Structure 1
Amino acid sequence: MKTADLCVRDWSFLSAKNSYQDAQVVLTGIPLDLTSSFRPGSRQGPQAIRSASEGLEEYSPYLNLDLVDCLFYDGGDLLLPHGNLQVCFERAEHLCRLLLQDNKLPVFLGGEHLITFPIVKAMLDFYPDLAVLHFDAHADLRDEYLGETYSHATVMRRVCELVGPENVYQFGIRSGTREEFAYGENFTHFYPFEILAGLESSLPGLKGRSLYVTLDIDVVDPSYAPGTGTPEPGGVSPHELFRVFDLLQGWNVVGCDYVELAPVYDRSGITVLLAAKLVREGILAFSGRLTAL
């Protein structure tokens, strides 16, 4: 089965090219929204990001790179049977495997954070040395939430079980239970409240490793990004996140996702615009890795 058979295309991100075959980077939406614990609405995230991208320039002054020089393709949104979580997992994992088999660098738009679990599961078969860089307001390290082991509140605990907690790096965390913070401090590479110092100190130990980046928009302070299901005051600024992509430029990032954007709570549209800009930065920063191989 081809990736085109799994997805529906209504709108493309900015200057996406028309050819999947020629693309180095493939952007796909995974509009999963089944376990949101506070305010649902993240399934609308991928299309909102595409729409907002029309207000951006292709050129990034942060990276001095331009999307017109990047071979990337927008494959649309994965078709999901909302209500059947297991089938949603299977389709997301299958899509990721197809992209990796075709030597594409996948960029995924959520949807809730639980999409990271099947993606990382697929990634491990191609990159057994995988390290996961997690930018988020929430630890997401609960073993279960409301009796469910698969939830956007447990996703990083499930990822730890896949890759080993010693291969998970968490930045910007400022919310969670006492047990979650203890787990992070004892088992993962845990950098609460800030992102840049922890990332800068972690990168030397990640040299040569395959990196997967998962970015929850609520890592940003809600004064900049109110359009999310679980806003958490005390977050980082957009400028700090732009710096993250600068730091990761040239590293072996093999895939990434952007999750938990909920446009219904974004009255002014500033969160959607920020998310679109971050997607642009990621495509530009991580596609450089492909030309260096």
Structure 2
Amino acid sequence: MEHLMDQGKFLRAKQNYDVARTVIVGVPMDFTVSFRPGTRMGPRKIREVSYGLEDYSIYADDSLNDKEYFDAGDVDIPFGNVEKSLEIIEQVTVKLLDNNKIPVFLGGEHLISYPIIKQVAKKYEDLVVVHFDAHADLRDTFFGERLSHATVLRRVCEHIRDKHLYQFGIRSGIKEEFNFAKEHTHMNPINVKKPFMETLEELKQKPVYVTLDIDVVDPAFAPGTGTPEPGGCSSQDILDVVSSFKDLNIVGFDLVEVSPASDLSERTSLLAAKILREVLIAIC
């Protein structure tokens, strides 16, 4: 595929793009990160540590062995050019959707979700976006910029129906973001597992796109992220949540903000790889 470069494969990714139901794409971009840079290395590290995982998941009592998924490598983006990079990400997404693939993107910063969801929403007009994050990401601008990892879900709201954004684990933001959420989203502050499980039935039968910022997890479990926010959920809680995705119609997924340089133990990347394994088992 155009605009993609091989950066190794995730776990036991198959070699045949044509028969794959799900396609993994990395996006090594951290141009608008506002605190600690380094998420551009996330996709490569998640793939690298995945070789320490088993194909079998005790959570799902299932294995990746018979799942057809393809790892297309990383998007080749122009360093420092935000708008052109977003345009290329959008083009890759269109190609995947035209080929009837379920896109699974690895960040990279959270802004990468915007061009992806923008295109997925065109295919599924009743799309629901489920957002796991420590931060609301609902600012209209951040330091005067409309395109930022701090504004990404505000931009997403411009392309989906009102109240079609469900947010979990939010524990940081400015007052204006929470005011916006009261009017336009379903925000569940602080907690993750309990409110998500209570919402699960409501989300069934709808096309769902999931965007998961690793900082939704407490930095005690996942310190390798650009803007760590104490007080999040445990790694066990997020794995329980992701394991329930099998009950949903997931039409796209991204996992963002893993910053390997901030975690020499690699436990953040390992958690991300394990989350991705559970997602693939659930949706392939």
Above 0.5 in TM-score? yes
The aligned counterpart of 2:280 is 283
TM-fit CA distance, 1:185: 2.5
Query: Is 1:99–1:105's contact at 8 Å kept on the other side of the alignment?
Result: yes
Code of the residue aligned with 1:25 in structure 2: it is T
Alpha-carbon deviation of 1:126?
A: 1.0
Aligned with 1:193 (options 171, 183, 190)? 190
Distance (Å, rounded) in 2 between the aligned partners of 1:229 and 1:114:
13
Q: Pick from 31, 36, 41 the counterpart of residue 28 of structure 2.
A: 31
Q: 2:178, 2:30 → 1: CA distance? A: 26
Normalized per residue, which structure has more helix? Answer: 1
Give, in angstroms, the shift of residue 27 of structure 1: 0.4
**Which residues of structure 1 form unaligned runs of 5+?**
288-293
Deviations 1:224-245 (A, max 9, x none): 0000000000000011111112
Q: How many equivalent residue pairs? A: 284
In structure 2, the residue matched to 1:133 is 130
AA at the equivalent of 1:85: V
Distance 2:141 2:195 in 1: 27
- Counterpart residue identity of residue 259, structure 1: V
Map Cα deviations across residues 196-239 of structure 1 (whole Å, 9 max, x no partner): 22212322222321000000000000000000000000000011
Structure 1 counterpart of 2:235: 238
Q: CA deviation at 1:181?
A: 1.5
State the TM-score, normalizing by the size of structure 1.
Answer: 0.95
> Partner residue of 1:253?
250
The 1-side partners of 2:162 and 2:6 are apart by 36
Tell me, in whole angstroms, the C-alpha distance in 1 between the residues paired with 2:61 and 2:275. 15
User: Residue 49 of structure 1 aligns with which residue?
Assistant: 46
Tell me, in whole angstroms, the C-alpha distance in 1 between the residues paired with 2:195 and 2:253: 19
d(CA) in 1 for partners of 2:42 and 2:236? 22
Q: What is the deviation of 1:165?
A: 3.8
Match of 2:67 among 64, 67, 70: 70
> How far apart, in 2, do the equivalents of 1:142 and 1:86 lie?
18
Contact 2:111 2:148 in 1 (8 A): yes
Q: Which runs of 5+ in 2 are unaligned?
A: none
1:172 is matched with which residue: 160, 169, 174?
169
Given the alignment, which residue of 99, 102, 111 partners 1:114? 111
Q: Alpha-carbon deviation of 1:186?
A: 2.8
C-alpha separation in 2, matches of 1:225 and 1:203: 25
- Which residue identity does 1:126 align to in structure 2? K
1:149 corresponds to which residue?
146
Q: Is the 8 A contact 1:250 1:286 kept in 2?
A: no
Contact 2:56 2:62 in 1 (8 A): yes
| Letter in structure 2 aligned against 1:205 | E
1:266 corresponds to: 263
How far the C-alpha of 1:90 sits from its partner, in A, is: 1.1
Tell me the secondary structure at the aligned position of residue 170 of structure 2. coil
Instruction: Check whether the contact 1:135–1:215 (CA below 8 A) recurs between aligned residues.
Output: yes
Q: Which residue of 1 aligns with 2:160?
A: 163
Q: Identity of aligned pairs, percent?
A: 49
Q: Indicate the RMSD between aligned Cα atoms, in angstroms.
A: 1.0
Alpha-carbon distance in structure 2 between the residues aligned to 1:17 and 1:225? 29
What's the offset of the Cα at 1:10? 2.5
Deviations 1:95-145 (A, max 9, x none): 111111111111100000001100011101211110000000000011110
Is the CA contact 1:132–1:167 (under 8 Å) kept in the aligned structure 2? Answer: yes
